[in-house]
Chain A
Amino acid sequence: MRDLVVHYDTPLGAVKATDAVSFSLGAGERLGIAGESGSGKTTMALAILRLIRPPGRIAAGEIWLQDVDLMSLSPEAMRQVRLARIALIPQGSMNSLNPVTRIKEQILDALRDHDVRISRRQGQERVRELLESVGLRPEVADMFPHELSGGMKQRACIAIAISLRPRVIIADEPTSALDVVVQKQVMETLAKVQQDLGAAVILIGHDMGLMAQFVDRLGVMYAGKLVEISPVRDIFIGPLHPYTRMLIASLPSFEAKGTFHGIPGLLPLLRDLPPGCAFHPRCPHAFDRCQRDEPRPREIQPGSWASCHLL
């Protein structure tokens, strides 16, 4: 992704939901994109699949999948890329299963929609394989969504997402509605299918604990911008951007009591961003340049990028 800009047109002018976001994703890599609500992380994910709907639009930027320029594809070619090359597990997907259709039909629908021609027998076999790969019993194929628990439904959604063996799986808050014990199971399932397929994963979310334990590299978004992207270990040992540092300090730990601190101030409104660095009103280290110039992303140490005048 190079310099992606997504605008939402409003009567008060265009709002930049995602502004000049760039990153690369290696084959088989797990990349996390973390941010608070309104930081632009979901918009960024939808833009990869060109699923931004009006009043939103992709105003600038390039997205390449290997050597294919996704922005230049026809709508039909893009439709074929979705699911077959890049699969999305959207937020709340477990509640988007069709309540009156058996699980196997919902999996087969995805295959048929992408013109996979298979016999009934092969179809049944494929459904069984897919369910097995996400740890669900074969009987689940004949069940309806209401007969499944939340964790089972989410695993059925993963089965649909991987049905065409995509190269990239985008998972947007895949476990936000689940209990912690079930969350762990679902993430284990996602890790397993990803390894089986050799696919890359983009995990979108706000749970820094989940990011710390699951991804290889972590990007942190604030007010539509990617303010830092580094190997995940480095972020938790030595975060570079003041926002990242304060976000980590705001997390309640089990190690010591009373050591978590909120970030003073409020998230800025995207339609009314402060000049210079969008974080400067909340940043304890801000100096005059931060109010004037917008910092550009720079490679601070090998593999670690951040946008901050202090660095």
Chain B
Amino acid sequence: MSTRNIFARPARLAAIAPYLWMALFFLVPFIFVVKISLSHTAIAQPPYTPVFDLTAGVGAIKAAFAALSTDNFRLLVSDDLYVLSYLRSLVVAVVSTSILLLIGYPVAYGMARLPARWQSVAMMLVIVPFWTSFLIRIYAWINILQHDGLLNRILLALHLVAAPVVWLSTDSAMYLGIVYSYLPFMILPLYATLSKIDPALLEAASDLGSSPRRAFWLVTFPLSLPGVGAGVLLCFIPIVGEFVIPDLLAGSDSLMIGQTLWLEFFTNRDWPVASAAAVILLLVLLAPLLLYDRLQRRQLEGGR
């Protein structure tokens, strides 16, 4: 009994730590954002009303509460600009995540089948780009893709095109940038699950009459699904809110929600609308997260 008590207390404290962290650095700021999203824009410091002043007495706080409204959310739903931004963000995220999966899976699969000492080399190669600043790498792509950039010069030299092709400020450039930037986040979780699959399982499948291709679909693929889920979420969620890559590489005719949010916040100085857009974005992203959580929980329960 006494030994249990000794160990129980620090263990419980350790369990509280992540919740404390989440409350302090996620929940509290999020409440601020929700509050601002229910406010009205104003030419003031801070640029919205009402402002809660806890020293002003109960009546003033009640009045402040009464002044909150859902006008911003109504605006977001009614104005095409915002709805289209959300839709474009989702489309871009779905398309890029699909491309990432199609490229990342074979790469991770190949890595997992390399001899052990080459696996760590391959892993290094996947991680190495992180040693350079993300922005610098995107600017490097701008350099490569621009009118007289490396790509066009190569294409011209090989006589594959007659005149320089416009790459920059197109969706292709944006997808290229996104896929390039997020590929490690797809490869690493996939590699982690694929390399854990016991090769004897494939031998068993083949012993029981499966060709290598069927063994892949019947054994390897189902067992790699947790990695697929992790990789997809790890890419999909940040891509929906992506701002830098579309801003630097895509054209300006259609915006992703991250860009719209930036515009509202910095250019229009409309903090309440920007906050409302952020709250909706969070709600949109909650759906896949909950879905993944449920799948994982089912897997845990199935495995118990």
A and B associate in one complex: no
List B residues at the A interface (Cβ < 8 Å). Answer: none
List A residues at the B interface (Cβ < 8 Å). Answer: none
